[in-house]
Amino acid sequence: MIKIENLIVKYKNLIALDVRDLQFEEGVAYGVVGENGAGKTTLFKSISNIITNYEGNIYMDDKLVKKNNSVLKNVGLVLDGMSVYKDRSGWFNIRYFGKLRECLDESYAKELAQDLDIYAVLDRPVKTYSYGMQKKLILLIAILNKPKYLILDEPFRGLDFETVKWFKNYLLKLKDEGTTLLISSHVRNDLESLCQKVHILSHGKIIDFLDLEEESKTLIRLIDTTNNVRFIEIMKACEFNFEVRDSKIRASIEQASWAKVQEQASVENITIIEMSKTSSLDGRMN
């Protein structure tokens, strides 16, 4: 488990991150969303010791990360802007970081490289790779040690469709095997397909928490009608719980009074023109 207590990261006088209490339980896939500059990357960098001049404590498996770097051998990390030795070959980088983490398995690396479609270029210097190929190599290095915790900051950006498909399947497999995933993404579909829980960051603070797994069990719909103003009055009269977001009505149609609302709307000739599936992430993605 990753446990964060009173974490404060400052850039000069600016508080970039202020997280009082946050836990990432083992075997759960978490999403971290927020606008640009919300503090997602800073959070990941603090967890992985890339930033160390913070206040507060970060524990991984009950060990203080700042004092016990070796716990990070259980972590796979992909951050935007991360790099490898560009003058050296892909194989050099795989061997270097694999040996550094004492987890080098060349046959597994070869298997992953074939799946990621970079096996043919591994003998070439990394500086000749495209952006997508470099990102695939960093992904390969991140998952080479079959990490217990996998931290991915915008993991699919710059990757081709086939690789994204393969990687999502791979992540689902890791999730089933009990790997803890921490994923930040601006793509709703990525989070919905991979994450069970989502933390929402804004201006360095956790402002909300969503349990997508629980939510998927409910029938939440986005409703639009020919007369939304009157429809809202009907819902209120029928004591039907709802919320209005971006001028659209969002409600769970599991409620007992839903039939009564539909009946009254029909009597008043109000037609439901849209009733699409929705998620709590609507309007929260940036």
Q: Categorise residue 181: left if φ over 0, alpha if ψ from -120 to 50, beta otherwise.
A: beta
Q: What is the DSSP letter of 50?
A: S
Compare residues 92 and 258 and give the one whose CB is closer to other proteins: 92
Q: Are 210 and 280 contacting, i.e. CB atoms less than 8 angstroms apart?
A: yes
The binder of other proteins chosen from 122, 133, 138, 174 (CB under 8 A): 138
CA pseudo-torsion sign 265, 270, 276, 279: negative
Residues 98-137, one symbol each (x = binds other proteins by CB under 8 A, - = not), give: -xxxx-----------------------------------
Distances (CA, A) of 175 to 111, 153, 171: 20, 17, 6
38-57 positions binding other proteins, by CB under 8 A: 45, 48-53
Q: Residue count at the site for other proteins (CB under 8 A)? A: 33
Instruction: For the chain, list the strands marked E by DSSP.
Output: 2-11, 14-24, 29-34, 55-60, 63-64, 75-78, 149-153, 180-184, 197-202, 205-211, 220-225, 243-245, 248-252, 272-277
With binding defined as CB under 8 A, does residue 141 bind other proteins? yes
Q: Which stretch binds other proteins (CB under 8 A): 82-90, 112-120, 156-164, 266-274?
A: 82-90
Instruction: List the one residue from 23, 69, 130, 193 that touches other proteins (CB under 8 A).
Output: 69
Smallest separation (angstroms) from other proteins to the CB of 52: 6
The DSSP element (H or E) to which 44 belongs, if any, is: helix 40-47
Q: How far apart are CA 208 and CA 167, in angstroms?
A: 28
Which is closer to other proteins, CB of 83 or CB of 128?
83
- Of 75 and 118, CB closest to other proteins: 75
Using CB under 8 A, pick the residue from 38, 79, 94, 116 that binds other proteins: 79
Distance of CA 35 to the CA centre of its chain: 13
Q: Are strands 180-184 and 29-34 parallel, antiparallel or unpaired?
A: parallel
Q: Taking CB under 8 A as the rule, does residue 87 contact other proteins?
A: yes
Give residue for tokens 């203080």.
64
Contact string (CB under 8 A) for other proteins, positions 231-260, x = contact: ------------------------------
Contact stretch for other proteins (CB under 8 A) within 73-81, 171-179, 180-188, 233-241: 73-81
**Residues binding other proteins (CB under 8 A):** 45, 48-53, 69-73, 75, 77, 79, 81-88, 92, 95-97, 99-102, 138, 141
